[in-house]
Amino acid sequence: MDGALVQQIGTKALLAGLAALLIFWTINAIRLVISARGINPLIKQFFNQIAAGRIDGAYRLTSKAYRQHVNRQDFLKFLGSLQLNKYRNLKSGRPRIQDEQIILTLKLKSEDKQSELPLDFTFAKVDKDWKIDRIAKS
């Protein structure tokens, strides 16, 4: 009788733990989706600005902190080193939250799908808008 009681308590504890984990995961997923609103349009606008040759417009989509560390000339050199004109497709990875920022890995794929360029974008909320706070090759 004691063994059955221990087994029943263990099963209930395991189910309670799984339920708590599921609730925790669900809350974090909802929080991430809600907080990340506005990032996809920002990414689209950033790449559209670059494709249209409006580099200054793309540079203005970055945060003030980014512009303090990366001047316009360095930004141009960085973009030139990426050779973005080789890539046509964009695949977004899973966003991660870290210190009130969202980190998103974007994979640019060439039209022939032979080469891939992974880029880590870090986004920071400035007032009510998202800004690009960091861009780095993965």
Q: Which CATH class is domain 37-137?
A: alpha beta
**Rg, C-alpha atoms of the chain:** 22
Which of 132, 102, 106 has its CA nearest to residue 119? 106
Q: Which helix (H) or strand (E) holds 85?
A: none
pLDDT greater than 80 at residue 56: yes
Domain ranges, ordered by start, for the chain? 37-137
What 3-state DSSP class applies to 127?
Answer: coil
The predicted pLDDT at position 14 comes to 83
pLDDT band (50, 70, 90) for residue 112? confident
- Asked whether the beta carbons of 94 and 103 are under 8 A apart, the reply is no
The answer to whether the pTM exceeds 0.75 is: no
pLDDT band (50, 70, 90) for residue 135? very high
Half-sphere exposure at residue 119, Cβ-oriented, CA atoms within 13 angstroms: 23
| Exposed/middle/buried for residue 121 (C-beta within 10 Å: 0-12, 13-18, 19+) | buried
Please state the rounded mean pLDDT for residues 66-95.
91
Output the average pLDDT for the chain. Answer: 87
Please state the rounded mean pLDDT for residues 30-50.
83
The predicted pLDDT at position 96 comes to 85
pLDDT tens digits for range 3-16: 776 677 778 888 88
Please state the rounded mean pLDDT for residues 27-44.
79
Which of 101, 97, 105, 138 has its CA nearest to residue 121? 105
Look up residue 83 and give its amino acid. Answer: Q
